[in-house]
Structure 1
Amino acid sequence: MTTESFGVPWEKGYGYVQAVRHGDTVRLSGQVAHDGTELVAPAPVDEDGRVTDFSRTGEQLRQCYANAAELLRRFGASLDDVVEEVIYAVDVPSADAAAGPVRKEAYGRPDPRVASTMIGTPRLAFPELLVEVRFVAQV
């Protein structure tokens, strides 16, 4: 078994790795919109930590796929090897509107060959996050 991480503080704090390869399967932890320790396109939140605008969903989703591609590259794989994804969304209508174009762009084809599920959730690890994507790849 081999693993990969980004070295962000929350990996050590929570206690996990970003990716695990066991045999010919690579499983990625849920990828969020970060570039290093900085959140990408953070959603505005009110004083109670509730999102007030979901318009950055597509930008965040794009970064989730970029992070996944980087992790897969470390195993000699790519998004072409992904067989399953689960998208966790704070606002399903916004995620659904963004997911089609962003996924097609990320996978480089009009008909991504990947099993995909979208799940609504009230909140993610950081209040400014709108989406998180978990991946499974076969290499």
Structure 2
Amino acid sequence: MTEHFKSLEKNTAYWGVPWEEAYGYAQAVQVGNEIYVSGQLSHDSNGNLIAPAELDQNGKPRDFSTMEAQMRATYENLATLLGRFGATLDNVVEETLYVLDVDAAFAVAGKVRKAAYGAERPQCASNLIGVSRLAMPPQLIEIACKAVLVPKATA
């Protein structure tokens, strides 16, 4: 017996940056009351990287001193994308930070995350994972998350 399933109704958001077309993906997808946000980088509205790491002769980051600036800009991008769905960082239930240097990320993550979420103890599950590289060599961090919208009560 073959089961037939209805297609998911999806609402998507894009930045309009070149890598969306090249790779072929949405920055965020809403299905029902859940929002899935693809890994975000520290870029401006034109796709220019903010605080890119200086690269060595092998094309790898020379130092990680721009981790804090990249992390702040990345959380700003997350907040902007979530806003397109009527959500805020307060709707985030889980986040994953992919970083090139775990020590550099831990050194700034506490204060940056607390400022971004506006709370001493942000109410979301968080994963911080060290990786060997990200999509763009000058990037030190990428953040993906899942958020949940809560229906407004009706009177």
Instruction: Report the TM-score range of the alignment, normalised by the length of the smaller protein.
Output: over 0.9
Structure 1, gaps ≥5 residues long = none
Local SS of the residue matching 1:101 = helix
- The aligned counterpart of 1:129 is 139
Distance 2:91 2:144 in 1: 14
How many pairs are equivalent? 139
Which one has the bigger strand percentage? Answer: 1
- The aligned counterpart of 2:64 is 54
Distance 1:82 1:37 in 2: 24
Larger Rg: 2
Q: Of 33, 39, 44, which aligns to 2:49?
A: 39
1:104 and 2:114 correspond: yes
* TM-score calculated relative to the size of structure 1: 0.99
Amino acid at match of 1:55: S
- The aligned counterpart of 1:11 is 20
What do residues 1-37 of structure 1 show as CA deviations (whole Å, max 9, x unaligned)? 1000000000000000100000100000000110121
1:116 and 2:126 correspond: yes
How much has 1:45 moved relative to structure 2? Answer: 0.5
Distance 1:12 1:81 in 2: 28
Poorly superposed stretches of 4+, deviation over 3 Å: none
What is the correspondence of 1:74-113 to structure 2 with a 5 Å cutoff? 74-113=84-123
1:28 and 2:37 correspond: yes
Local SS of the residue matching 2:71 = helix
Give aligned-pair identity as a percent.
50
* TM-score calculated relative to the size of structure 2: 0.89
